[in-house]
Amino acid sequence: MRKQNEVGSSSVAFANIFCILFIAAASFGVWAFMGRQDYKNNSDQKSAAAVEAAKKAQAAELQKKFDEDYKNPNKTYQGPVAFGSVTFSYPKTWSAYVDESGSAEPINGYFYPDKVPSISGDKTAYALRVELLNTTYSQILQQYSSQIKSGKVKASAYVPPKMKDVANVQPGTKLDGVINHTSSGDQNGSMVIVQVRDKTLKIYTESQQFMNDFNNIVLPNLTYLP
């Protein structure tokens, strides 16, 4: 009888152990399955997000290329021959307002994409400004001496690419940094100052947004009669 009880107890113990192992295995299986499902769901979401981000990046890049290509062919501005025939190219997507009637300022031009904002006030940072002044080169450059000394503006000698082999061309100055102080704040851009006969030409962009156009379209095509 005792032997039978021992055998029965062993069977019960074995059955209990089997049940525990079965429950543990089943729990592990459920946990693993849920983990795989969670990973799959998160993975799908991450993949979809990555695909969407890639599409947006590609669309932005294509739009950027289209915008750049649409600027061509460029427009050309040519000033009066009597004032040195100042000539340069600019994107065809820009509009221009140029006053050539002033005596102290024979050329006063404003350029901006689509349409030129009001020229009254100083809140607009124009894509391009052109000024031909009846003021000496040294006097114009002196106006920026404090900005240069403070380090807000970097000055370097400059000759437009198309003028490097032209006789009688005097080296000018390129200013990069805070070129204007306005009621809306500082305008960070780039300006070239050169002597044109007995006058001084200032050609500049008032915003970093248009720096590529200024450096890659306007300045490489700038010419004048020295």
List, for residues 19-41, the tens digit of each pLDDT value. Answer: 565 566 666 666 666 767 666 66
Q: Would you say the pTM of this structure is higher than 0.85?
A: no
Please compute, for residue 187, the number of CA atoms within 13 A of its CA located in the half-sphere on the CB side: 25
Mean pLDDT of 184-192: 93
Reply yes or no on whether the pLDDT at 82 is more than 50: yes
Domain ranges of the chain: 1-70, 75-221
Distance CA 225, CA 80 (A): 11
Reply yes or no on whether the pLDDT at 88 is more than 70: yes
Which fold does the domain 75-221 belong to in CATH? Answer: Protein Transport Mog1p; Chain A (3.40.1000)
Structure token digits, residue 151: 């380090």
pLDDT grade for 140, boundaries at 50, 70 and 90: very high
pLDDT grade for 2, boundaries at 50, 70 and 90: very low
